[in-house]
Structure 1
């Protein structure tokens, strides 16, 4: 089997997907925007062949020709992926051009556009925040009058907090939109709540092979704009309503042989936000779906939490259609991202010497990740959530 991996050297932990593919017997081919020496010895050794396309994001024809050259040398491409939001459209175009199994552009119209997502959520019977495309300033004013302030402006197609803006009053709205709205701008009612996710790996038949949930300290917009200390942690048990919503969404979007990362708002009645996701008053509104793994070191966290290897499990699924997996979520695992400029009470060395819980990893964050994920990262784990929360609070406490 020939598997083409786009950008095999970034994110840095995704090289483990390439390693797992090779170990399962696949011929792993690579195309990326890094020169071959920049891949590093480990990644280069995993690839049977590699082509550098310096501007493959903006020059699709160059990317296509690179794939053609690999096909001439190695034969038909059986699978193609990057598992990275940045390349999803390029993947879909290549699959259509070379008749490769997987997501097509028509799928992205639903699972990458914010308004397309909401249509899918409604089809699944999952509540969403009201939203619409901004076609005029008057239309935006009417939306704000109906739903009240604050409102959120965001691109219909976007990643994370890029281009997302909270608008608190009419003057800010008018200034943000101006006389002519930017094409593809969505206005959305603001939802007060905690972000929880439904994260999983879906097999070729559309069945969920593995799933978990993560609870976030803040939204990406607040973290990035305020340079906040951030954390998120996994749950050992999933709230039944959240799991039901996640499973219905996976079916509604027809996800096959892919990871999925679905974000929800945990809300309550009357604007109150429950602190316990298992609270009977807890309500969930779907925020967005990403048909790729959760970002950062989340795959590693999921591996630690259940003592599994999702890199290998994904590769077995692609190469052998092996959908066998038994697992138990044994640990809660947290990502704590600290900021260089914040004076923490507990030093990094103290955390390493006496974390209070297990330190599973202290990875070096790539520069591109630091605005959201933190300048200094600790992955912490413990079977007991209260003990893990105490360790998180200690790492985040300011002098």
Structure 2
């Protein structure tokens, strides 16, 4: 099997995908921007060949790289980056070279919020109504139909970037002034006083769920964007609500993806859930590593086994997994040494956040596991307590 990894060097923790694929006997080929000399030794050993391009944004250059590898190594069986940023590139390459997986025509339902909503509704998952803004006149139509307060997000976008909260007419006028007039926006009623939880996991080549789990966030992405002094904290839940699992499974079935990770975000209200968006990839940053620590397994290896057809079931020991991030400039009560001394083997990793995520999510992440929710919450208070 020939498997091309797009951007095998970055993000750094995703190098494990290449390493585990190699361990499964897959012929792993890389295309990236970094000089070969910059690659970690373990990554070099995992890659049969690495083709450096000047820019992954240059689709024609990347296509020439794939063509070179195709002619040298034979038919390409998979092309994947596992990265939202390169998802459209991945799909374009699969379409051009007739490779298994998500093609260009498959992207619309998970890249566009207006399309996503249709699939959630098909799955019987609660959603809030929405309104697509293509021209300035649509803004007032949407406000009239949905009523303020509203959230305005790019229809094709991820996370909370370029998001506007429209509380009153002044916010609406400000949005009109700042909007470029070209980017399609999607308006939705603002859901207040709600937590954000996820239904995450992996499906095999037939669309069957291999594993699933859930992240519970302490702060919403919009909160973090509006207040970058907050510490980024989330945990892997041990006891998932059966209603969340039902909605999540129905959504996965409705979207019909194959051999992909999924990261589905929901608002958790007092007695129900409201779907936010379906992300066709793993949760970002170190989330897969946190899954691994919480479940005492290796989902990088599990993915490689699924791809190679050698997956033979899971053997997991589920605990609560806490990811608590600190910011370098803040003064905390407990030192790094005190955290290590107190939690010892329950402290699974201390990870330095990549600079690309640091402003939003913090600088140093502590990953801990706990048997109970109460113990996990006590850990969060200890790590995050300020002087």
So what's the TM-score if we normalise by structure 2? 0.95
Distance 2:340 2:89 in 1: 41
Note the residue ranges of structure 2 that are not aligned, 5 or more in a row.
none
Q: Which residue of 2 aligns with 1:30?
A: 30
Question: 1:218 maps to what in 2?
Answer: 219
Q: Which whole-Å deviations, capped at 9, do the CAs of 1:275-328 have from their partners, x for residues lacking one?
A: xxxxxxx210000011111111111111112211111111111112x3431344
Question: What residue is the counterpart of 1:312 in the other structure?
Answer: 301
Local SS of the residue matching 2:352: coil
Q: Does the 8 A contact of 2:130 with 2:146 survive in 1?
A: no
1:308 match: secondary structure: coil
CA 1:165–1:342 in structure 2 vs 1: closer, same or farther (change >3 Å)? Answer: farther
Q: Which of residues 261, 273, 276 in structure 2 aligns to 1:284?
A: 273
Segment drifting more, 85-94 vs 294-303? 294-303
Distance between the aligned counterparts of 1:265 and 1:327, measured in 2? 30
For residue 335 of structure 1, give the secondary structure of its aligned residue in structure 2: strand
Match 1:350 to one of 313, 338, 342: 338
Task: Please name the residue that 2:321 is paired with.
Answer: 333
Counterpart CA distance in 2 for 1:247 and 1:386 is 28
Stretches of structure 1 lacking an aligned partner (at least 5 in a row): 269-281
Q: Distance in 2 between matches of 1:360 and 1:126?
A: 35
SS state at 1:29 partner = strand
**Alignment-derived partner of residue 174 in structure 1:** 173
Change (3 A) 1:135 1:80: closer
Bigger shift: 175-184 or 89-98? Answer: 175-184
**Structure 1 CA distance, aligned partners of 2:181 and 2:306?**
44
CA-based RMSD of the aligned residues comes to 1.7
* Structure 2 partner of 1:293: 282
Structure 1 CA distance, aligned partners of 2:175 and 2:89? 31
Aligned to 1:264: 266
Say which SS state the counterpart of residue 64 (structure 2) adopts: helix
1:190 aligned onto 2:190: yes
Aligned to 1:372: 360
Q: Which residue of 1 aligns with 2:132?
A: 133
How far residue 184 of structure 1 moved from its aligned partner, in angstroms, is: 1.4
> Hey, what does 1:384 align to over in structure 2?
372
**What secondary structure is seen at the aligned counterpart in 1 of 2:351?**
coil
Q: How far, CA to CA, are the matches of 1:21 and 1:326 in structure 2? A: 17
Number of aligned residue pairs = 384
Tell me which residue corresponds to 2:202.
201
Cα deviations by residue, 1:155-178 (Å, 9 ceiling, x for unpaired): 111122221222221111111123
Cα drift, residue 44 of structure 1:
1.5
C-alpha distance in 1 between matches for 2:332 and 2:47: 43
Report SS of the residue matched to 1:285.
strand
* Structure 1: distance between partners of 2:25 and 2:260: 19
Deviation at 1:92, TM superposition (A): 0.5
Is 2:14 the partner of 1:11? no
The offset of 1:70, in angstroms, is: 0.9
**In structure 1, how many angstroms separate the alpha carbons of the residues matched to 2:325 and 2:174?**
33
Given the alignment of the two structures, is residue 144 of structure 1 paired with residue 143 of structure 2, yes or no? yes
Secondary structure in structure 2 of the residue aligned to 1:92: helix
CA contact (8 A) 2:201 2:212 kept: yes
C-alpha deviations, 1:246-287, integer Å up to 9, x for none? 00011101011111000000013xxxxxxxxxxxxx210000
Quote the offset at 1:60 in angstroms.
Answer: 0.5
Counterpart CA distance in 1 for 2:131 and 2:54 is 37
Q: Distance in 2 between matches of 1:215 and 1:129?
A: 21
Q: Give 2:237's match in structure 1, choosing from 232, 235, 238.
A: 235
Partner Cα separation in structure 1 for residue 345 and residue 332 of structure 2: 18
Q: Which residue of 1 aligns with 2:348?
A: 360
Contact 1:357 1:387 in 2 (8 A): no
Deviations 1:191-239 (A, max 9, x none): 1210000001111111111000110011112113311112110111210
- Change beyond 3 A, Cα 1:166–1:342: farther
Give 1:347 deviation, angstroms: 2.5
